[in-house]
C-alpha cells in the first residue's frame, strides 16, 4: 500500500478524504435513479474507504501515544473558537478500521433485501459512514458533537423508513433516548468550554485540571449520554426495539459501530478528562455493568425472537466491556477495547446471519426453524463459527477479549470473577440454544424408518447462501480467527495509547485507592482499638491492687 | 535433562482428521469412498504418532510451537511419553472403531452418516490435540472443541431422549469447563505467570496455599469429562448415542481426555511435590474412592446393558485418578497403565453391547438368556472384556490393578487397598451375572431368537480389541517402558 502513501493529498488529508468521500458519494447516489448502479457505486465507495483505512493501520506508529495523521487545527467558526481538527490515536484508529469493514458488510447485506428507494437507503449508509468516521477522528469537541448528533438522522431514517412493522415506534424511541443523552452531553461540553477558557480542543481540555465537584457533575452528564449509547443497564430498553425493527444493515451498523461510540466516549472523554470522578464512580459503574451482564444474558435466554436474543446478548457483552474499562488496569483496558472490536465483528456477523434467513423466510421466530443445518449447510458452518466466537470459544476473537478481562478482574477484583463467569456461562447457554434451535430438530427421520417430523412451512423457502452473502460472512470470519490466534498486532497498536490513558486516568488505579482506603480505615480502627485497650489495661492496673 | 526435538509431526497428527473432514464432506454422496477417507486418515494419524515413538522411548520430547497468541500463551504441541501413551491408544482404536461404525451404522441404516463420520473425525483431532497439548491454553482449546463436536454425535437420533441426553451432556461439560476450568486457567496464569506444562509442575510450595488449593479444586470440577462424582451424570445420559460413539468416545476419547487432563495437571502443573506438600494427592485419592464404590453399586442396579457399562466406566475412570493421586511410582504406573487397559477392554464391552443390539435389538440384560449360543464370538469377547475389568489375571485389567495395589501399599494406606478390593468384588458382582445368563440360562426357543446372527463388520473389530486386551495383560512391557519414562522424569 506504499504507493497510496505517496499521493500527497492522501498523505496529508487522509482523514478528511475518509470523511468526505462517502458524503460526496451519498449526494451523488441520491441523484441516480438506477438501483443497480447505485448499489455498485455504494459498494465501490465502501471498498475504497476500507482500503484507505488499511494504510492507517499499517503505517501506524505504535511507539507513541500522540495523535497521528493530524489535520488542522483550522478555525472555522471563530466566534466560539470551533476548529476543524482531526487525528487518531491507537484506540480510535482501530474503530475507523472497523467502521470501514462494517461499511462493506452492510452494503453487501442490503443488496437484495432492500427494495424500497434503494438510492435513499444507500445514501443513508454512506452518510452514516461519514459521521461515524468523523466521530472517531474528531479532536475538537464541537466537531465531535456535530458528527455525533448527525449520526442520529440517517440511523433514524434507516429504522423508520426501511424497518419492520413497528418501525416508527422503534425509530422514535431510539431517537428520543439518544437525544436525551446528547443534550446532557451538550450541557457538559458547554460547561467544559467555559471552565477551560473557551476552547473545544479535546487535548487541551484533557490537559486541564478540574475541581472534583465539577468533574463529578460533568462526568455524570457525559456518563448518561454514553451509557445510553452503550447501552448500559438500566438505559438499555431502546436497543431491542431498535434492533428488531431495523433493517439488517441498520442492525449491523448499530451493533458493529454505534454501540462502540458509548464505550469510546468513556475512553476518549470521561476517563482522561475527569480522572478523579472516574475513579470515584468506578465501583457503581462496575456494579451496573455486572447487572447488565447477567440481566442481559437472562433476558437473552428467555427470547424466542432471533433478533431480540442477539440484541439482549449485546447488552450482556457490552457489560463486560464497561466492566473491564473501569478496572483501570492494562489488561482490562486492552481486553475491553479488543472486545469492543470483537463485538463489532461477531455481533455484526450474527445480525447478518439473521438477516440472511429473515430475507428467505420473513420470520424471526425460533420455533419456525430447525432445518437450517439440513437445508443450508454452508450457512450453518458460518453461523457455527460466529456462535463460537460470541460465546468466547478458545481460538476465536471472543476468547481473547474474555480472557484478558478475566485476567484484569483477577488483579484485585477476584470477587467479581464469579459474576463474570456466570455471565460467560449464560452467554454460552443462549448462544448454543440459539444454534440448536435454528439448525437441528425439524424434519428428521429419527431412525429405523420412523415417520419424519413435519417441517415448518418456512423450510420451503430455504436456499443456501449465495456468493455475495458468503463473501460478506467470510470477510468477518477472517477477523474471528485472526484476532483469535494473533491478537498481538491489534494489542500493539493500542498499547501506548492505553498506557497513556491509564496515566491520565489515575494518580492511582481504582483498586489501589480502595485497598488503601480500606487499609487506612482498618488502621484507624486498629489504633482506636489500641487506645481503648490501653485505657482498659490502665484501668485494670489502677484497680488491681484493690481487688 | 530432557532432549527436545522440534518437529511438526504432533501438529500434523492433530490436523490429519480435521483435514479429512473436507474429503468426507466432498464424498458425501459416495458412502464407500467416504468411509475410505476415514480409514486413510485414521491410518495416517496412527502412523504419524507411531513414528514419534522412538524419539519418546529414547527419552526425548517432540515439541512444536505454532505461534504465540498472547505473551506467554502459545498454541503449542508437545508429544511426551504421557501424551504419546494416550494418543497411541486413541488413534489405534479409531481405526477399529471406524470398521465397527460402518458395520453398525449401515446395519441399522442410520440417518446423517456424513455428519456422523465428520464429527467423529474432528472429535479424534480434538482428543489427539489434548494428548499433545503443550500448555493449558492448547489443552483448553481442544477440550472445548471435543465437547462441542461430540454433541451432534450424542444427539444423533434427534428424538426427545436424544435431545435430553445431549442437553445434559453439553450442560455438564461446557457448564463446568466454561466456568471452573476457565477460572482455574486464569488463576494458574495469574499465580505462576505461565501456562506451560513442565515436569515437576509450575506451582511451587512457596506459593500461597489457599489460591493454589482453590485452583486445584477448580480444575477437578472443571474437568467434568473425568466423570468424578457428583459430576458424572452426563455419561449415563450420553448413552443415547449410537453404540460406536459410546464405545470410542465414552470409553476412550472423551472420558479419557477428562482423566488425562486431570493426570496432566496433577503431574505437570501442580507437580508431585506440591501435590504431596499440600496434601492434595491423598485428598483426591480418598475423594474419588467414593466414586469408585458408589458407581459400582449403581451399576449393579442397572438392567440396561449400556447403562451398566456407563456406570462401570465412571467407576473405572477413578481408578486412573486414584493411582496417580497416590503419587507413588507404582500408583502412577498403575493409573496410567489403566488408561490403555480400560480403553481396550471397555471398548470391547461396548462393541459387544452394540453387536447384540444390531443382531437382536436387545438392550436389557434380563433378555440376554442363552444369547451366547447365537453370538459365540461376541460373548467370548465380552467375557474377556469383563474379566479384564474385574482384574482376572492374564487379562489387561489385572496388570494395572496389580500396580495400583502395590501403589496403595507404597502409600501406606490400607483404606485405599480396601477400596480396590471392595470394588473388585462389586465389578465381579455386576459382570458375572451377565456372563452366566448368556452362557448357562435356557434360551427362548422363538423363531426370532434363531434368526440372530453376527455381522463380520461388527465382530471383527471387537475380537481384535478383545485379543489386544489379553496381549496387554500378558505382555505389558511396551506400555510399561513408556510409563517408566513418565515416572522417571517426575
Q: Hey, are the CB atoms on A425 and B175 less than 8 Å from each other?
A: yes
Q: Which residue has the higher pLDDT, B146 or B453?
A: B146
Q: How confident is the model at residue B252 (pLDDT cuts 50, 70, 90)?
A: confident
The Cα of A144 is separated from the nearest Cα of chain B by a number of Å equal to 34
Is A441 in Cβ contact with B158 (below 8 Å)? yes
Q: Which of A46, A308, A370 has the alpha carbon at shortest distance from A164?
A: A308
Q: What share of chain B is helix, strand, coil (3-state, %, to 5)?
A: 75, 5, 20
Q: Is the pLDDT of residue A390 over 50?
A: yes
Helices (H), A302-413: 306-325, 330-361, 372-375, 377-390, 397-410
List pLDDT tens digits, range A76-125.
888 888 888 888 888 899 999 999 999 999 999 888 888 888 888 999 99
Q: A interface toward B at CB cutoff 8 Å?
A: 388, 391-395, 400, 403-404, 406-407, 410-411, 417, 421-422, 424-425, 428-429, 432, 440-441, 444-449, 485-488, 491
The predicted structure's pLDDT at residue A386: 93
How confident is the model over B153-175, as pLDDT tens digits? 888 887 778 888 888 888 898 88
* pLDDT at A59 > cutoff 90: no
Computed over its alpha carbons, how large is the radius of gyration of chain A? 26
Mean of pLDDT values over A375-400? 90
For A458-500, how does the pLDDT look when each residue is reduced to its tens digit (9 = 90+)?
Answer: 777 778 888 888 999 999 999 999 998 888 888 888 888 888 8
User: Is residue A524 predicted with pLDDT exceeding 50?
Assistant: no
Chain A residue with CA closest to B191: the answer is A410
- Please state, in angstroms and rounded to a whole number, the distance separating the CA atoms of residues B52 and A357: 48
User: What pLDDT is recorded for position A382?
Assistant: 92
The C-alpha cell that represents A535 in the structure block: 485505657
Cross-chain residue pair A410–B158, CB shorter than 8 Å: no
For the stretch A228-240, pLDDT in tens is 988 888 888 888 8
For residues A509-532, average pLDDT: 45
Q: Is the pLDDT of residue A544 over 50?
A: no
Give the residue from A420, A252, A422, A430 showing the smallest Cα distance to A321: A420
Closest CA of chain A from B120, distance in Å = 16
pLDDT of residue A451: 59
pLDDT of residue A64: 83
> What pLDDT, in 10s, does the model give residues B402-445?
999 999 998 888 888 999 999 999 999 999 999 998 888 887 77
Q: What is the pLDDT of residues B16-69, one digit of tens each?
A: 888 888 888 888 888 788 888 888 888 898 999 988 888 888 888 888 888 888
pLDDT at A322: 92
User: Across chain A, what does the average pLDDT equal?
Assistant: 84
Instruction: Please answer yes or no on whether B175 and A394 come within 8 Å at the CB atom.
Output: no
User: What crossing angle do the helices spanning A92-109 and A467-485 adopt, rounded to 10°?
Assistant: 160
pLDDT at B352 over 50: yes
- Confidence at A264, pLDDT banded by 50, 70, 90: very high
Nearest residue to A87 via CA among A180, A179, A15: A15
Output the DSSP codes for A492-520.
HHHHHHHHHHHHHH-SS-HHHHHHHHHHH
Three cell numbers written together for B100: 465397527
3-state secondary structure string across B289-323:
HHHHHHHHHHHHHCCEHHHHHHHHHHHHHHHHHHH
Q: What is the pLDDT of residue A45?
A: 92
* pLDDT > 90? residue A345: yes
> Shortest CB distance from A487 goes to which of B70, B148, B174?
B70
In this complex, the residue of B152, B158, B178 whose CB is nearest that of residue A428 is B178
Higher pLDDT, B134 or B490: B134
Q: How much is the ipTM here?
A: 0.87
Task: Flag whether residue B183 sits within 8 Å of chain A, measured between CB atoms.
Answer: yes
Q: List pLDDT tens digits, range A271-313.
A: 888 888 888 888 899 999 999 999 999 999 998 888 899 999 9
Q: Give the residue, A529 or A87, on which the prediction is more confident.
A: A87
Say which residues have a Cβ less than 8 Å from residue A451's Cβ, sequence separation at least 6: A445
Put simply, the answer to whether B67 touches A425 (Cβ < 8 Å) is: no
Amino acid at each position: 500500500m506504499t504507493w497510496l502513501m505517496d499521493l500527497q493529498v492522501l498523505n496529508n488529508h487522509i482523514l478528511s478524504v475518509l470523511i468526505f468521500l462517502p458524503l460526496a458519494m451519498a449526494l451523488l447516489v441520491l441523484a441516480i435513479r438506477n438501483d443497480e448502479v447505485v448499489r455498485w457505486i455504494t459498494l465501490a465507495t465502501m471498498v475504497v474507504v476500507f482500503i484507505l483505512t488499511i494504510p492507517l493501520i499499517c503505517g501506524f506508529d505504535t511507539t507513541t501515544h500522540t495523535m497521528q495523521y493530524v489535520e488542522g487545527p483550522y478555525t472555522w467558526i471563530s466566534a466560539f473558537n470551533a476548529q476543524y481538527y482531526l487525528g487518531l490515536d491507537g484506540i480510535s484508529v482501530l474503530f475507523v478500521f472497523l467502521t470501514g469493514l462494517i461499511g462493506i458488510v452492510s452494503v453487501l447485506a442490503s443488496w437484495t433485501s432492500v427494495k424500497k428507494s434503494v438510492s435513499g437507503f444507500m445514501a443513508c449508509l454512506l452518510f452514516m459512514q461519514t459521521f461515524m468516521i468523523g466521530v472517531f477522528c474528531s479532536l475538537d469537541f464541537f466537531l465531535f458533537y456535530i458528527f455525533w448528533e448527525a449520526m442520529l438522522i440517517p440511523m433514524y431514517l434507516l429504522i423508520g423508513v426501511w424497518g419492520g412493522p413497528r418501525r416508527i415506534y422503534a425509530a422514535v424511541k431510539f431517537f428520543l433516548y439518544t437525544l436525551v443523552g446528547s443534550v446532557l452531553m451538550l450541557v457538559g461540553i458547554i460547561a467544559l468550554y467555559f471552565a477551560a477558557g473557551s476552547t473545544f480542543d479535546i487535548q487541551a481540555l484533557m490537559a486541564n485540571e478540574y475541581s472534583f465537584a465539577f468533574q463529578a457533575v460533568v462526568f455524570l452528564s457525559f456518563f448518561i449520554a454514553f451509557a445510553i449509547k452503550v447501552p448500559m443497564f438500566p438505559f438499555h430498553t431502546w436497543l431491542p426495539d431498535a434492533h428488531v425493527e431495523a433493517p439488517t444493515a441498520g442492525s449491523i451498523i448499530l451493533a458493529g459501530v454505534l454501540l462502540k461510540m458509548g464505550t469510546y466516549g468513556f475512553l476518549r472523554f470521561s476517563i482522561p478528562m475527569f480522572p478523579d470522578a472516574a475513579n470515584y464512580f468506578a465501583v457503581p459503574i462496575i456494579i451496573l455493568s455486572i447487572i447488565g451482564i447477567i440481566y442481559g444474558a437472562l433476558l437473552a435466554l428467555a427470547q424466542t425472537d432471533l433478533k431480540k436474543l442477539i440484541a439482549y446478548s449485546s447488552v450482556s457483552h457490552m457489560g463486560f466491556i464497561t466492566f473491564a474499562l473501569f478496572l483501570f488496569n492494562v489488561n482490562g483496558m486492552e481486553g475491553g477495547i479488543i472486545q469492543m472490536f470483537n463485538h463489532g465483528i461477531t455481533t455484526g456477523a450474527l445480525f447478518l446471519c439473521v438477516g440472511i434467513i429473515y430475507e428467505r423466510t420473513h420470520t424471526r421466530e425460533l420455533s419456525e426453524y430447525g432445518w437450517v443445518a439440513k437445508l443450508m449447510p454452508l450457512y450453518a458452518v458460518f453461523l457455527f463459527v460466529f456462535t463460537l466466537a460470541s460465546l468466547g470459544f478458545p481460538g476465536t476473537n471472543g476468547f481473547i477479549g474474555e480472557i484478558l478481562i478475566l485476567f484484569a478482574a483477577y488483579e484485585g477484583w477476584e470477587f467479581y470473577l464469579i459474576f463474570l463467569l456466570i455471565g460467560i456461562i449464560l452467554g454460552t447457554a443462549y448462544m448454543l440454544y440459539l444454534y440448536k434451535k435454528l439448525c437441528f430438530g425439524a424434519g428428521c427421520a429419527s431412525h429405523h424408518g420412523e415417520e419424519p417430523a413435519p417441517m415448518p412451512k418456512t423450510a420451503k423457502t430455504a436456499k443456501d447462501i449465495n456468493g455475495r452473502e458468503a463473501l460478506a460472512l467470510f470477510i468477518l470470519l477472517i477477523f474471528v480467527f485472526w484476532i483469535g490466534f494473533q491478537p498481538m498486532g491489534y494489542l500493539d497498536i493500542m498499547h501506548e495509547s492505553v498506557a497513556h490513558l491509564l496515566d491520565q486516568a489515575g494518580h492511582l488505579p481504582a483498586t489501589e485507592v480502595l485497598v488503601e482506603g480500606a487499609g487506612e480505615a482498618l488502621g484507624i480502627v486498629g489504633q482506636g482499638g489500641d487506645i481503648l485497650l490501653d485505657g482498659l489495661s490502665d484501668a485494670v492496673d489502677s484497680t488491681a491492687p484493690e481487688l | 535433562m530432557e532432549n527436545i526435538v522440534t518437529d511438526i509431526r504432533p501438529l500434523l497428527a492433530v490436523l490429519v482428521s480435521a483435514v479429512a473432514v473436507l474429503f468426507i464432506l466432498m464424498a458425501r454422496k459416495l458412502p464407500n469412498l467416504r468411509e475410505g477417507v476415514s480409514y486413510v486418515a485414521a491410518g495416517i494419524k496412527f502412523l504419524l504418532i507411531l513414528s514419534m515413538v522412538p524419539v519418546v522411548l529414547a527419552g526425548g520430547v517432540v515439541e512444536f510451537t505454532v505461534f504465540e497468541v498472547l505473551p506467554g500463551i502459545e498454541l503449542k504441541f508437545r508429544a511426551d511419553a504421557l501424551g504419546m501413551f494416550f494418543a497411541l491408544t486413541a488413534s489405534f482404536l479409531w481405526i477399529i472403531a471406524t470398521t465397527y461404525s460402518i458395520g453398525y451404522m449401515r446395519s441399522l441404516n442410520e440417518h446423517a452418516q456424513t455428519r456422523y463420520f465428520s464429527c467423529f473425525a474432528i472429535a479424534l483431532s480434538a482428543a489427539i490435540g489434548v494428548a499433545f497439548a503443550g500448555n493449558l491454553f492448547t489443552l483448553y482449546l481442544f477440550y472445548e472443541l471435543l465437547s462441542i463436536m461430540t454433541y451432534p454425535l450424542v444427539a444423533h437420533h434427534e428424538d426427545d431422549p436424544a435431545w435430553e441426553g445431549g442437553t445434559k451432556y453439553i450442560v455438564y461439560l461446557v457448564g463446568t469447563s466454561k466456568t471452573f476450568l476457565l477460572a482455574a486457567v486464569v488463576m494458574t496464569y495469574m499465580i505462576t505467570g505461565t501456562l506451560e506444562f513442565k515436569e515437576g509442575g509450575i506451582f511451587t510450595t512457596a506459593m500461597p496455599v489457599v489460591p493454589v488449593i482453590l485452583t486445584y479444586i477448580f480444575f477437578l470440577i472443571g474437568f467434568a469429562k473425568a466423570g468424578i462424582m457428583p459430576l458424572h451424570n452426563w455419561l449415563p445420559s450420553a448413552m443415547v448415542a449410537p453404540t460406536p460413539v459410546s464405545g470410542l468416545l465414552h470409553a476412550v476419547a472423551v472420558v479419557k481426555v477428562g482423566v488425562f487432563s486431570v493426570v496432566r495437571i496433577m503431574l505437570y502443573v501442580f507437580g508431585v511435590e506440591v501435590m504431596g506438600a499440600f496434601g492434595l494427592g491423598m485428598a483426591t485419592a480418598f475423594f474419588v474412592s467414593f466414586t469408585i464404590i458408589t458407581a459400582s453399586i449403581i451399576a449393579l442396579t442397572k438392567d440396561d446393558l449400556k447403562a451398566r457399562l456407563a456406570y462401570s466406566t465412571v467407576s473405572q475412570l477413578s481408578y486412573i485418578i486414584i493411582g496417580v493421586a497416590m503419587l507413588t511410582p507404582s500408583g502412577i504406573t498403575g493409573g496410567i497403565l489403566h488408561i490403555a487397559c480400560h480403553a481396550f477392554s471397555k471398548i470391547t464391552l461396548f462393541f459387544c453391547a452394540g453387536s447384540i443390539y444390531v443382531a437382536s435389538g436387545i438392550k436389557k440384560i434380563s433378555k440376554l438368556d442363552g444369547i451366547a449360543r447365537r453370538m459365540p464370538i461376541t460373548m467370548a469377547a465380552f467375557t474377556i472384556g469383563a474379566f479384564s475389568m474385574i482384574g482376572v489375571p492374564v487379562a489387561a485389567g489385572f496388570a494395572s490393578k496389580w500396580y495400583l495395589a502395590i501403589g496403595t501399599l507404597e502409600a501406606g494406606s490400607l483404606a485405599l487397598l480396601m477400596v480396590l478390593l471392595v470394588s473388585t468384588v462389586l465389578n465381579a458382582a455386576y459382570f458375572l451375572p451377565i456372563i452366566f445368563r448368556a452362557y448357562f440360562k435356557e434360551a427362548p426357543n422363538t423363531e426370532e431368537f434363531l434368526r440372530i446372527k453376527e455381522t463380520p463388520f461388527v465382530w471383527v473389530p471387537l475380537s481384535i480389541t478383545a485379543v489386544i486386551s489379553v496381549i496387554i495383560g500378558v505382555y505389558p512391557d511396551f506400555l510399561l517402558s513408556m510409563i517408566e519414562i513418565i515416572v522417571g522424569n517426575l
